[in-house]
Amino acid sequence: MTLDVATPDRPELESAMSAEDYEDVTVEGDEYRREELAEALDDGAWAQAFESWAAETNLDEADWDVVTDLDLVEEFDFFWDSFAGRVGYHAPGLPENWRERNIHPDIESWETVSSINASLTELGQVVCDVLADDYLDWEADEVDAGDLPDF
């Protein structure tokens, strides 16, 4: 399915936010390079990634309206994970207690919540892939073998 909507503005990247504050992300280091990532997003990575994602997503326009009504795109965060040598991200999502909080009148089922959350996660990954493949040429920090986790 193709989502035929205008590309939204890219999210602002909060330079004061520590990636360690996210429950769904594990990051080593504190050099997030958000300004450089923002430049790459402005240089076309955001539009390219969004268009690629929109061509493949299962999200429909009604669900996209929920995303835009709640300004969820603005809640994305992208950052450099120097230890792993990759762009990391935090995708926004609808909370588990969506029904009790009555966060949007068009959300009526777990299917809608799950679809929106999964689709936003997919968008975050597509953005990271586009950045890594087409816009960035960064390497992981050199790591002392003693700093690697035991498996």
The DSSP secondary structure of 46-77, one letter per residue, reads: HHHHHHHHHHH----HHHHHHHHHTT-GGG-E
pLDDT at 84: 79
Buried b (16+ CB within 10 A) or exposed e, 46-62: bebbbeebbeebebeee
**pLDDT at position 15, please?**
59
Mean model confidence pLDDT for the chain: 86
pLDDT band at 145 (very low <50, low <70, confident <90, very high): very low
- Within 8 A by CB and 6+ apart from 136, the residues are 40, 87
Beta-bridge mates of residue 59: none
Share of the chain above pLDDT 70, in %: 79
User: Does residue 21 register a pLDDT over 70?
Assistant: no
Q: Return d(Cα 41, Cα 113) in angstroms, integer.
A: 27
Residue from 136, 110, 115, 127 nearest 61 by CA: 115
Comparing 35 with 14, which gets the higher pLDDT? Answer: 35
pLDDT of residue 13: 87
pTM of the model: 0.83
Q: For residue 86, what pLDDT band results from cuts at 50, 70 and 90? A: confident
Question: CA–CA separation, 60 vs 50, rounded Å?
Answer: 14
∠ CA(21), CA(82), CA(118), 5° rounding?
A: 55
**What does the alpha-carbon distance between residue 83 and residue 28 come to, in Å, rounded to a whole number?**
6
Question: Mean pLDDT throughout 60-86?
Answer: 92
